[in-house]
A and B are shown apart, each in its own frame.
Chain A
Amino acid sequence: MSEPGSGAPGAGMHAIPAQPPPARRAPVLGAIGVTLAVFAAFPVLFTDPTTTSIAFFTLIFMISATAWNIFSGYSGYLALGHAVFFGSGAYAVAMSAKSWHVAGGWPVFALLPFGGLIAGAIAIPVGLVALRTRRHTFVVVTIAIFFIFQLAATNFGFTGGTSGMLFPIAPFSAANYNQPFYYVALALLVATTFVSWSVRRSRFGLQLLAIRDDEDRALGLGVKTRRVKLGAFVLSAVPVGMAGGLYFYFVGQVFPQFAFDPLFDLALALMAFLGGLGTVAGPLLGALVLESLQQYLTQTFSSDAIYLIAYGVLFLAVILILPRGVVPSIATLVRRRHAARSHPAGTMPEPRLRETAA
């Protein structure tokens, strides 16, 4: 690549479209449509309750990993305490259903936004404290705060202590019990993905990515870094809270040790890493692969121990072999292929705007 200005300073004068080449927009939309159709048709095609419940769990993790990525993936600050929001959302829904005497079934689903709201409200003070610290301390502080919540849920009276809280019984038939949960989760997933995609292409998202790459310089370009980080933190807590409410409503009961599970946070991080941190599709893909694999592993190996070992080894392998994740690696590969085909020797293609996150 020659230096600009080395030949003629006006060399860049030829017009360049403000939009990246609109190539392949239709196929992308088509692929999204097909994927959505497949997801929507899944419980109709596979009615076995074991299969549909695995599918439901997978959706829950796709929501949570996508939401986690809105903060941690875009800003580069690793949060390992999102179980706080998962659990708080679940407790908020369970408690409000109980105190407002909400009947089981669809009315409980209507409480999910309340769970998300509570999770978001909790994220404000948590973020205010945790985001004061530098990146690596931040990780540890989120872990510490997570343990505070776990302890509180176990010990407070109004959370029901170790025996947890019951949700109202969902009046769905045994054969079709999973379907409503599945479709609510799918709707939530679509909404969360839309938020993640909107953030990624918004000014706000650009500010987050700028913080990830060089926080000091972003500040020097007028980005209110503290406010942006806190905003993203809260925004990423809300869907996790809703997912928590939904998940434990499906289970029927919320216990502190499951609601506040350290493996949950690690799972989100691993999924996002596997798929590609800071991309929209990465956490979706990572959660889809990992959660279904995890469910499969738990069913195949009855032993917890082997499951843990397999999980840990997989995690290590992903971080050491594919630190950038699958999606960015494939994107690079495709770009190179494309470049080799359409740009003979030496010239570079123009990659599209959203593929540059790595």
Chain B
Amino acid sequence: MTLSAFAQAVVDGVLTGGVYALMAAGLTLIFGVMDIINIAQGIMVILGAYLSYELSAHVGIGLLPGLLLTVPAMFVLGVAIEFGFMRRLRDQDRTQMSILVTYAVAIVIEGIVTAVAGVDYVQLQASYVNSSIHMLGFYLPDIYLIGFGLAVALMAGLYFMLYRTKFGHAVRASLQNRTAADLIGIDVSRVRTISVGIGVAVTAVGGMVFGATNAFNPNTGYDLISRLLAIVILGGMGSIGGAMGAAIFLLVINDVVAVWWSPTWAPLVYFAALVVVLSVRPRGLFGRAAVRAQ
């Protein structure tokens, strides 16, 4: 492997890592506020991709303008799922039960998508999907740049929302100390519902970029969720910054391995990294010890 191929792989990894970071940020946000692991996050990304596909291929709305419709649609879906299922889970065994429930939700969505769109692989098309620019010796596909740009913008937006707005403070407050949040007048259950909505809404953007860079069918959701879970665990569940770091770390390794060894083995790196890290640090790379009083 030449040095330039290596550098190109690193750049590709960072660019795609940004998009994965966005999708994983939604997953980790939902875990943080709800203690729920949303297995349906993967199929929701695919659903977002299909929505973009239907809009661009059949309605004539481009991928980027289409986001104005798909993001709110996914937000509503998230709110509906929180309302319909997540808040019904009892506190005991909540996280474990949530995995089963959201897995079932994922199957239902997969069924609906399959019924409507079939199982053939599709890929999103637009003028900027196949073009690229050549800069500093790197080939940078436009869609990667757009995706990375969108991801960075949305992550920055998410960060701003969480750390600079009143609602964001309420989210973090409910996450850190539920009783105290109740006592200062925060409507914790509404905060949770909206957070889940936001966590799901980001999949619309993730789906658009993913669908433009990969061929997908309803089954792709499983591959995706397994990668997202690896990222979230490695980053420490509930930590958005950790998810970002872990996503870029894994995707860079993935792309380097793909170039240096073989693309078929690259995904193995994800899980191998996860297993190695967990055997050394069961809490993940960036995870903190749960503070538990007797």
Q: Do any beta carbons of A and B sit within 8 angstroms of each other in the complex?
A: yes
Which segment, of B6-14, B103-111, B143-151, B192-200, faces chain A? B103-111
Number of interface residues of B (CB under 8 A): 42
Q: Which residues of A contact B112 (CB under 8 A)?
A: 305, 309
Of B105, B108, B272, B279, chain A has the most CB atoms within 10 Å of the CB of: B108
Q: Which of B99, B108, B229, B265 contacts A313 (CB 8 A)?
A: B108
Indicate whether A312 sits within 8 Å of B111 (C-beta atoms), given known contacts A133-B282, A148-B271, A148-B272. Answer: yes
Q: Which residues of B contact A357 (CB under 8 A)?
A: none
Q: Which residues of A contact B100 (CB under 8 A)?
A: 78, 266, 269-270, 273, 315, 319
Q: Which residues of A contact B106 (CB under 8 A)?
A: 312
Indicate whether A129 sits within 8 Å of B278 (C-beta atoms), given known contacts A308-B110, A308-B111. Answer: yes
Smallest distance from the beta carbon of B241 to chain A beta carbons, Å? 19
The CA of A147 and the CA of B272, in the complex, are separated in Å by: 10
Which A141-198 residues have C-beta < 8 A from chain B? Answer: 141, 143-145, 147-148, 151-152, 154-155
| A141/B99 in contact, CB under 8 A | no
In this assembly, does A109 line the interface, its C-beta being within 8 Å of a C-beta of chain B?
A: no
| A141/B115 in contact, CB under 8 A | no
In this assembly, does A26 line the interface, its C-beta being within 8 Å of a C-beta of chain B?
A: no
Q: Which residues of B contact A78 (CB under 8 A)?
A: 96, 99-100
Indicate whether A319 sits within 8 Å of B101 (C-beta atoms), given known contacts A132-B279, A139-B96. Answer: yes
| A136/B110 in contact, CB under 8 A | no
Smallest distance from the beta carbon of A269 to chain B beta carbons, Å? 6
Indicate whether A316 sits within 8 Å of B105 (C-beta atoms), given known contacts A155-B265, A308-B110, A309-B111. Answer: yes
Q: Which residues of B contact A312 (CB under 8 A)?
A: 104-108, 110-111
| A135/B96 in contact, CB under 8 A | yes
Which B221-244 residues have C-beta < 8 A from chain A? Answer: 222-223, 226, 229-230, 233, 237
The CA of A196 and the CA of B100, in the complex, are separated in Å by: 23
| B275/A316 in contact, CB under 8 A | no
Smallest distance from the beta carbon of A87 to chain B beta carbons, Å? 15
Q: Which residues of A contact B278 (CB under 8 A)?
A: 129, 132-133, 137, 141
Q: Which residues of B contact A308 (CB under 8 A)?
A: 107-108, 110-111, 114
Q: Which residues of A contact B (CB under 8 A)?
A: 76, 78, 80, 128-129, 132-137, 139-141, 143-145, 147-148, 151-152, 154-155, 262-263, 266, 269-270, 273, 303-313, 315-316, 319-320, 323
Known: A147-B267, A315-B100. 8 other contacts (CB 8 A): A140-B37, A145-B275, A269-B100, A304-B111, A308-B107, A310-B111, A315-B104, A319-B104
Q: Which residues of B contact A (CB under 8 A)?
A: 37, 85, 88, 90, 93, 95-97, 99-101, 103-108, 110-112, 114-115, 119, 222-223, 226, 229-230, 233, 237, 264-265, 267-268, 270-272, 274-275, 278-279, 282
